[in-house]
Amino acid sequence: DTGVSQNPRHKITKRGQNVTFRCDPISEHNRLYWYRQTLGQGPEFLTYFQNEAQLEKSRLLSDRFSAERPKGSFSTLEIQRTEQGDSAMYLCATTGPQTNEKLFFGSGTQLSVL
Amino acid sequence: AQSVAQPEDQVNVAEGNPLTVKCTYSVSGNPYLFWYVQYPNRGLQFLLKYITGDNLVKGSYGFEAEFNKSQTSFHLKKPSALVSDSALYFCAVSADDKIIFGKGTRLHILP
């Protein structure tokens, strides 16, 4: 058990609907990352936070994607007007303040857009 | 921009033989390099990392990795493979707060 919790584990939605995922980090971790992983591929960086500040967002990420981390604790990732191409595993990972520290991953949220 | 490449989609090794999973990177400045493993239906787990110092880094489950600055490589190695090592392996690099992963190499250990 890595201590990073993601909910829900699975989400099935119809195209055009909005979905929201939640990540609860290990309590002392102030850096939080969101990744997307499709079958047979590596995790693709989406965005990351240091405490409540969103420091970088992937240029590949459309405006339909938004993430928040109020109060520097849990984080949410919202996808508006979902498309079939959004179907993927969405991973959350957290770590301490230094960039040389290892990431602790959650089990992910598997999104299927029908 | 930083990047990491894993040139092999799949590596097959007989049990008991040594294994190598290749990784090369491109980054400005000094890199922080990592290996992670993903077992079926489980989250990614940290194996080892290179920060500075000794070029040979030892990690979990008997794995080690060799940092080669001139070849910009960070290959994962194990002297004697186990069937239980079969999994998906990812190399990652961090140089500007953003941690980038390679596409992964599937390792098959044949009994």
Over the stretch B22-33, which tens digit does the pLDDT of each residue have? 999 998 888 899
Q: Per residue in A86-99, is it b (16+ CB within 10 Å) or e — as a string? A: bbbbbbbbbbeeee
If you average pLDDT over residues A51-65, what whole number do you get?
87
Give the closest of A41, A48, A102 to B98, CB-based.
A48
Whether residue B25 contacts residue B3, with contact meaning beta carbons closer than 8 Å, is answered with yes
pLDDT at position B31: 85
Q: Looking at CA atoms only, how far is residue B25 from chain A in angstroms?
A: 15
Residues 6+ apart with CB under 8 A from B25: B2, B3, B4, B5, B31, B33, B72, B73, B74, B91, B93
pLDDT at position B79: 97
Residue-wise pLDDT tens digits, A42-52 = 999 999 999 99
pLDDT at position A24: 96
Q: Which two tokens stand for residue B92?
A: 């990652």
Q: Which two tokens stand for residue A21?
A: 């995922």
pLDDT at position B52: 86
Percent of chain A exceeding pLDDT 90 equals 73
Residue-wise pLDDT tens digits, B4-19 = 999 999 999 999 999 9
- Helix or strand or coil: residue A70? helix
pLDDT band for position A100 (50/70/90)?
Answer: confident
pLDDT at position A56: 85
Residue-wise pLDDT tens digits, A16-31 = 999 999 999 998 899 9
If you average pLDDT over residues A49-68, what whole number do you get?
89
Residue A2 pLDDT more than 70? no
Residue B20's Cα: distance from chain center in Å? 9
Q: Which two tokens stand for residue A76?
A: 């949410």
Residue A1 pLDDT more than 70? no
In this structure, chain A runs to a length of 114
Say yes or no for a CB contact (<8 Å) between A103 and B49: no
Whether residue A43 contacts residue B101, with contact meaning beta carbons closer than 8 Å, is answered with yes
Phi, psi dihedral angles at B36 (to 5 degrees): -125, 155
| Planar angle of CA A31, A36, A38, nearest 5 degrees | 150
Chains A–B, number of C-beta pairs less than 8 Å apart: 57
pLDDT at position B25: 95
Residue A99 pLDDT more than 90? no
Q: Write out chain B residues lying below 8 Å of A56, CB-based.
A: 97-98
* Closest-approach residue (CA) in chain A for B48: A102
Q: CA-based Rg of chain B, rounded to a whole angstrom?
A: 13
If you average pLDDT over residues B89-99, what whole number do you get?
87
Q: Which two tokens stand for residue A68?
A: 């928040």
- Helix or strand or coil: residue B85? helix
Residues facing residue B65 across a β-bridge: B57, B76
Phi, psi dihedral angles at A88 (to 5 degrees): 180, 175
Residue to substitute from B101, B105, B106, B107, interface A, most A β-carbons within 10 A = B101
pLDDT band for position B43 (50/70/90)?
Answer: confident
